Amino acid sequence: MTESTKDNNPKNEPVVSYDGYDYSDFWKGRDYEDQADKIAVSRLFSLVKGPHHKFIDVGAGKGRMAPLYENTWDRFVLFDSSRQQLEIAKKDISHPSQAEFVVGTLEKMPFPDASFNAALCLRAFHYVIDAAVVVKEIGRILKPEGYLILEIPNKLHFKNRLGALLGKNSQNIFSADPINIATKGNNVFLNHNPKTILKLLEANNLRVIEMLSVSNFRSGFLKKALPISALLKLEKLTQKVLAPLWFGPSSYFLVRKSKLS
């Protein structure tokens, strides 16, 4: 593969882009959340069987998860709507000859059917308005028996449900549709109902193998009261146990595409 960034949006169609956003600044003070994500992704990667020929990071951004997969896969694609973020990712890739950087939209990805053995989609669904379209599109580019590690922002998490019980939530968190938690202008920053996502996965012949609840202790109070090492130990112990309860703000799914789909 080549190191050059391809632009697969020649008609300049509207895309959700975050060019100019400083993700290095975003992650300051979020070491716990960053490490919780990496614990979950590493755990699910360990369940992905070979062959490890071709992999895609959907919504790769600046390549935060690349160190977890670039030494395992023969070839890999970092795919994102932001050319600027991918240019940042290029600088940190350890195996550029195996990497490709592609700009485009999740709703219409520029890859043939059955192109990849596995896919990762992490912290991208905040910007996904039509989850049905994106789940179908990711399923399309996976090979039969291919794997997907999917993270969604979970609107049914414990804190939201407690707020609903106390009458503090202005939006219906129990509806099937996503809710927009953006606080400025017309921005989109969505949280999704994990039960809806499960149905979409099933409808697209994507069978759930494992679920995890992630960032279970994302609390300003806890992060001040406990050392990060203690929080991460608790995180490791609870990710699988709390998953069926939709406890944490991030829900992870490891799914496998049907052989006959």
pTM: 0.91
Closest by CA position to 24, among listed 59, 58, 64, 57: 64
What are the start-end ranges of the H helices in the chain? 23-26, 31-45, 83-92, 131-141, 158-165, 194-203, 220-225, 228-238
Say if residues 127 and 192 touch (Cβ distance below 8 Å).
Answer: no
**Which domain, by its residues, includes 74?**
5-153+193-257
Give CA 231 to chain center in angstroms: 22
CATH number (domain holding residue 223): 3.40.50.150
Query: Is residue 33, in this structure, part of any structural domain at all?
Result: yes
Q: What's the rounded Cα separation, in Å, for the pair 17 and 83?
A: 9
Query: Is residue 160, in this structure, part of any structural domain at all?
Result: no
Query: Is residue 177, in this structure, part of any structural domain at all?
Result: no
Domain count, the chain: 1
Tell me what pLDDT residue 185 has: 62
Tell me what pLDDT residue 225 has: 94
Tell me what pLDDT residue 12 has: 38
Query: Is residue 175, in this structure, part of any structural domain at all?
Result: no
How many other β-carbons are positioned within 10 Å of the β-carbon of residue 66? 21
Query: Is residue 171, in this structure, part of any structural domain at all?
Result: no
For the chain, residues with pLDDT lower than 70 are 1-24, 184-186, 261
| pLDDT single digits (tens) 61-93 | 999 999 999 999 999 999 999 999 999 999 999
